[in-house]
Amino acid sequence: MLVASFLEVSLFAGYFLALALVVTCSYRKQQSDKDFLIGNRSLNFWLTALSAHASDMSSWLFLGYPALIFTSGLFSAWAAIGLTLFMFLNWQFIAPKIRIATEQMQSLTLSSYFETRFSDKSGSIRLVSGAMSILFFTFYITSGLVGMGLLVESLLNLPYVFGITLGIFIVMAYVFLGGYRTIAWIDLFQGFFLLGVILFIPAYLIITIGGISPIMYAVKSKHLSTSLFPNFSFKTFWDLIMISAGWGLGYFGQPHILTKFMGIRRVEDMHKAKYLGISWQALALLSATLIGLLGIYIFPQGLSDSEQVILNIVKTTLLPFIAGLVICAILAATTNVMAAQILVVASNISEDFYKRIFHRHASAKRLLFVSRASVLWISCVSFGIAYFKISTIYTLVLYSWSGLGASFGPLLLLSLYRKNLNKYGAFAGILVGGLTAAIWPYFETTYQIPLTSLILAFFLSMIAIEGVSYVTRRHLKLEVEP
């Protein structure tokens, strides 16, 4: 037992050493806020693809999503199908256009892009979008910390508080020192590493068990779904749409993923990044689905905490060396996302608040300092929330994902493909989408309404953008006519 713990801790320490080496090598390359926030638009397609996808799949991939499959069966895999489909659409229709548009407008954040795109000199769009981003990202970063706490508590038998402290220290350190380019290189390394680990676990266990049939029999015996189409009723198709689109639509408004598109060096390489990234995502989600199903087979009596299904599988069935690799893989998935999210919040604070309100003509070095100070601030706030463990990882991620997707997704889509929009409609769309996503979960839970907050908020935001733009456009036209 002592040898096993020593091996796990040694792998853990080795992983930290590798991260520290990458950070040290890239620290001196950060010369300005542009370099710190989007890597001076210099990434190749490998870095762009793996950075976009590795910064998407947090501890949710290892903890939250397998728990969903473990408790409900195969039908819930429509969440993974929806995510893969909509991410493909994101690469196809959003990535090239946002890369070109943000360079032309010299924008480093979504907020500054919206402000320039709609000629908003009042700063209202930038401020409301920055506020929504900070609000929902705070809970998103918190979900990663909760995952870190559970990981350390379960596999290393150390206090939960130690886990979240260790997690925030690691992420804060390499974001603070390295910035965008460092995160991209770490994402590349960790993306391949965690994919290898999450592929190995179900492949090894399925071979050991003797195939997929015993697993599906165990799922059926617990009266859980064994099919993506259990029947062809209206309710089934409604639930299918709610699950797939209720997750997938969020991709159009995730700043920590969209900023990865902005950093690619050559726009014409975007299609290579697309196919590489989608292949990575499909394999990772398929493996996570199998892990959830394996949990049903291995733990027929259930678990007190379903989000620890992979941790219990590792402790029960795998060697200590493999358990150590799993620790590092979950750490990789968690830190990838947290780092990208903290960097976006830092850009919001420095570009959207500090530069816009206080020092419009601040120097590049001054903005770099503010960006790094923002990293410290948001890290401390998220740590405070994670300390009280207010919710599950799955719930925190879904809430944050929905809020960001509804706040920015509709406006980004329409801004790239529609011309007759104005700043009033843009402001209304962000506000309506964000507030609806923020408060709708209360009504959905209290009154058992089968309509996800992301889908409702997304379409209400689109209506607000188009409607307010139309009304104000007509009003302004009447004012200028004799």
> pLDDT for 239-293, tens place per residue?
999 999 999 999 999 988 888 888 788 888 899 999 999 999 999 999 999 999 9
> pLDDT for 380-411, tens place per residue?
888 888 888 777 788 888 899 999 999 999 99
> pLDDT for 202-236, tens place per residue?
999 999 999 999 999 999 999 999 999 988 899 99
pLDDT at residue 156 tops 50 = yes
Q: 224 φ, ψ to 5°?
A: -105, 165
Q: Residue 25 is which amino acid? A: C
pLDDT at residue 90 tops 90 = yes
Q: Angle at which helices 95-104 and 110-117 pack, to 10 degrees?
A: 70
| pLDDT at res. 428 | 97
Buried b (16+ CB within 10 A) or exposed e, 463-482: ebbbebbeeeeeeeeeeeee
Report the alpha-carbon distance of residue 373 to residue 367 in Å, rounded.
10
pTM for the structure as a whole: 0.85
| pLDDT at res. 435 | 96
Q: Considering the chain, what is the average pLDDT of its residues?
A: 84
| Rounded average pLDDT over 139-165 | 84
The 10 Å Cβ neighbour count of residue 316 is 9
Domains (ranges, CATH) in the chain?
2-391 (1.20.1730.10)
Q: 57 φ, ψ to 5°?
A: -85, 100
| pLDDT at res. 209 | 92
pLDDT band at 136 (very low <50, low <70, confident <90, very high): very high
- On the CB side of 469, how many CA atoms lie within 13 Å of its CA? 21
